[in-house]
Chains A and B, each alone.
Chain A
Amino acid sequence: MTTAEIPFKIDIPDSKLSLLKQKLALTTFPDELEDAGREYGAPLADIQRLVARWRDGYDWRKHEAELNAELPQFMKDIEVEGFGTLAIHYVHKKSEVEDAIPLLFVHGWPGNFLEVRKILPLLTAASPDHPSFHVVAISMPGYGFSDGPTKKGFRFPQYAEVANKLMLALGYDQYVTQGGDLGFFVTRKIANMYGGKHSKAWHTNFPRLPNSSPPKLFSRPLAYLTHILTPYTEAEKAGLARTDWFEKLGRGYFMEQSTQPQTLGYGLTDSPAGLLAWIYEKLVNWSDDYLWDDDEVLTWVSTYWFSRAGPAASLRIYYEMVQGNERGHEDTSIPLGFSYFPKELFNVPKRWHKASNLVFESEHTAGGHFAAHEKPELLVNDLRAMFGKGGPAFGIVPGKAGYR
């Protein structure tokens, strides 16, 4: 079952770098309304500054080398039923601790494998005080340096199949998962399809359950009464306001990507400034006042620009998931953990979440959607608490408790 690993180093051809530069040099910018701020979208001053930096000053080769140095990467061919073979790119780092817990990390959009960068050393670190993990961070098909599917209908079961097969191919017959954004849906699918047999527990920083809406009188009378009698805390009010903002003003990208991704894809493939703005808006709006460094943003966006399948491929998961009607609730029975970050896009009072397999909850007072990137220590501490000695999912992977 275990197959040999094929090391991979990112090495973007010079021709791609020079085409990017040519395009950046020709960038035409729109105007902007006076005092628009962030109200209408990504601010012009930011995009102009970032484009200027990307064109002159940003050194892709330097960042490429750093990524290759920090993230041990590999490629593996994975066969997907009905879709042929896809070349899958992934990060794989084993802890020194032999019985470390195998953990699959699944990114979302507009994320990618880079999101494992800060948590990787923390997860694999050895200590008697906390468990260690062997980490696999997959680039989902259509993202990073993985192939994109070429046929219609590649949905969550297929993403789950790819991820599970990858873990098995690496010798991890049993593992746990961590995911947010689309990674939440994929790891939930993994838990649903392979839970118990292969996936032994799942943790997410994008908490959602079927009851993640106000309890109704007839379905949950006690919860309903608690709901109407208990005043919301300030934090809960802020969370609901955040959720409301996202619903009313933040979902345009979702509506287009889930209905006409090909149409949108042309502009994002042809215009680096267009792609930059499309992604940068999320990096800012979805994080919790995270202090993005310009080169940090450009590295993130460059991995989309230089991605193997192109940026348009990354959008199709939205179409497949919505048109395939896949976002609804799915039962999982394996232990589940939630980390709550206040600036997550969907943030409802914790007491609305009820599931018999919800064994771990941790609430934070700072952090947003890109938890692994914004708050790596907090996220890893949560995983250590969930899976470590005394934790609710300790020893969930037999023989791999995470300690020497």
Chain B
Amino acid sequence: MSQTVVLEQNAVETQSITLKFDGCSSDANPSPIVNPENQSITIKFDDQASNHHTIPVSIPNVDSETEAAVNEFLRKHGSSDEESVRTDAMNDLWSFIERQEIGTVVVLVKFASDVKNFELLEIFCQRVADVIAKKTVEEVREIFNIANDFTPEEEQAIRDEHRWAFED
């Protein structure tokens, strides 16, 4: 469903414009429609975060196969209110994401956040968390290209502080 922003020109005394929001905003570009009768301007957002989205999104920095998989999810997930259909869509997307490089998933996390799609954000963040959970500290640094700025003594101090959590 698209969200509507209604701009109403008030009566003579104030000549001000009231902005009324109906639903949440989106980052998509609006196109204004002017209603001459009451002088209101309606801006309709094609909400890309909507559950009934049908227009494919374009995702920067990922390959076409990934973009297609995300769009398939959005289409399927938005096409039905039935829990089983939505769960299938999530499972399909999840299986696809599990086969992708972590770098791609990090891009997708940013994308999901930018378009405010919380279902996508959940899936992608959970995947990144799952990958982190399986890795050693050094592997986490490699995969996410993080520089180690601790001295060996500082690192040891952290391990000592939380002895119980380190199995080796």
B and A form one assembly: no
B→A interface (CB under 8 Å): none
**B-contacting residues of A (Cβ < 8 Å)?**
none
